[in-house]
Structure 1
């Protein structure tokens, strides 16, 4: 859904709006809001919209109460009646901000399971100010101990679909230039797409290509957005000086536990939607086959080494059930 992003001429200038979409993780969202209140973490005048994504619990009341109790006057809680997914919730937050605060220079999409380190968001804004051709920028995501997480990626390809599942040293070296998650340098670097856990977008990009595609319930919506921006001529950057703690999977439950939960059907549907939308049916089928070959190669290696899988349970069966060549079987 595209949104009318024009503000009234008499609206005050606004540098940044932060949108946080919560779903049944009110305690995490409140901790995220608290981290943004540390002086210098966000630019002066920043407005924050905490979207309560139809959780059906007391999340909206808890978040609104925390905002009032702590005096976070730059933040509001926007309760939604339905859980429409990541894109839906963020789009409603962007719409609300545009209608009530004016048109900002930038919008930051921030997961509720994140903690912004002091100065982190301000550094991302400063980078965007210095780089007018940058349409999108993402933070360095890390664990609480400072260890980095994969957060900057290449667009999906048949080669990296195979490599990412095969997990074989020789294959990775051979296909290194296509590896989906390359090693990132310590300085800002151009990349294909960045994680939606901390993704800043220039509002001019929204004007040109629209907001997130609500056809994705969860997953691949940021990949879709970044490829649309790239095709419109905007660059995407990873900015390691902006450091955000990401409590991986806490907002979705998919990777929350030591052993991952079963991968939900909407992951497979989002993956398929992205492939068909941007590359067509032939690419979708070939990507599925590449993934299957890589995954089977990995399982054979585990069997030969006498190891058990640490991945999501029933992943192969679920992939086959939802994939193009086998869909409906």
Structure 2
């Protein structure tokens, strides 16, 4: 394969992925568009490493999470485009070519999202919308416009990703995609979907949706994203609301759902406060790069 023909590095992040990564890599090998595949191994200890022989692998000394691994990969990507792909996802043979062609013909866009489906054909994500309380919510019906993309299968312009500050490595897992989309929007870029770029996703093969860690990362990273990207009034409102709801939990009689358990939410608040200085420094950097106001982006995309 002529290196000059390669426009995309597909980054596959894995952690203890022995049960599913082979199917992902086989699907990438069947792509009808030349590309570079880079597997970032988050210090797997389940035999994953032995399955990666013959592949280009960046082995990390510790588990840096999805966000941390993507940030490490970005430092070595030398192609115009960088694709993010979950290790439990199997793209159709024309997935990458569809994304590349769509992004090349849409110069105003910095990211092109995929159609992610569950194994039974149920749509998992056709893009991400921004809710009125600052959540990133997967769209399961086609929409003309999307705020962001699902980071499990997306194509981005590499230089643009670097220019907006890269991937928020400290997020570890979850909301790194919506945070990235927000920073792209603030920098004046558009984000589009390519519904023909189909990926079958075995959702939760690496992480467990609904687990305490899942809720902790989701709640923490949403608040950190708002502190970094949202209008100050929105970030402060959501942080105060989260703290007040946490404070009244001991006085509620009914059983609390997992994301409303006192210990978990106290842990989230502690982590947010600890990371607040770094989040505010990042906010300053994001402001310096922005060409649109935070309120302008919020008013355009936050669902009322």
TM range (shorter): 0.7 to 0.9
Alignment of 1:61-100 (within 5 A): 61-64=50-53, 68=54, 75-98=55-78
Instruction: String of CA shifts for 1:212-266, please: whole Å, max 9, x gaps.
Output: 121211111111111111111111112211110111111212x2xxxx3234433
Q: Matched residue of 1:192: which SS?
A: coil
- The count of corresponding residues between Structure 1 and Structure 2 is 263
Alignment of 1:1-329 (within 5 A): 12=4, 14-40=6-32, 43-44=33-34, 46-64=35-53, 68=54, 75-98=55-78, 104-158=79-133, 180-182=137-139, 184-185=141-142, 189-253=144-208, 255=209, 260-264=210-214, 265-279=216-230, 282-287=233-238, 313=258, 315-318=260-263, 320-322=265-267
Q: TM-score w.r.t. structure 2 length?
A: 0.75
CA distance in 1, matches of 2:203, 2:218: 16
Q: Matched residue of 2:19: which SS?
A: helix
Task: Tell me by how many angstroms 1:128 deviates.
Answer: 0.8
Task: Tell me by how many angstroms 1:93 deviates.
Answer: 2.1
RMSD: 3.1
CA distance in 2, matches of 1:139, 1:292: 35
Task: Tell me by how many angstroms 1:21 deviates.
Answer: 0.6
Q: TM-score w.r.t. structure 1 length?
A: 0.70
CA distance in 1, matches of 2:150, 2:92: 17
CA distance in 1, matches of 2:123, 2:187: 30
Question: Is the contact between residue 262 and residue 315 of structure 1 (CA under 8 Å) also seen in structure 2?
Answer: no
Task: Tell me by how many angstroms 1:197 deviates.
Answer: 0.3
Q: Matched residue of 2:199: which SS?
A: strand
Larger radius of gyration: 1
Instruction: String of CA shifts for 1:259-312, please: whole Å, max 9, x gaps.
Output: x323443333222211212236653342256679999xxxxxxx8xxxx99x6x
CA distance in 1, matches of 2:138, 2:120: 21
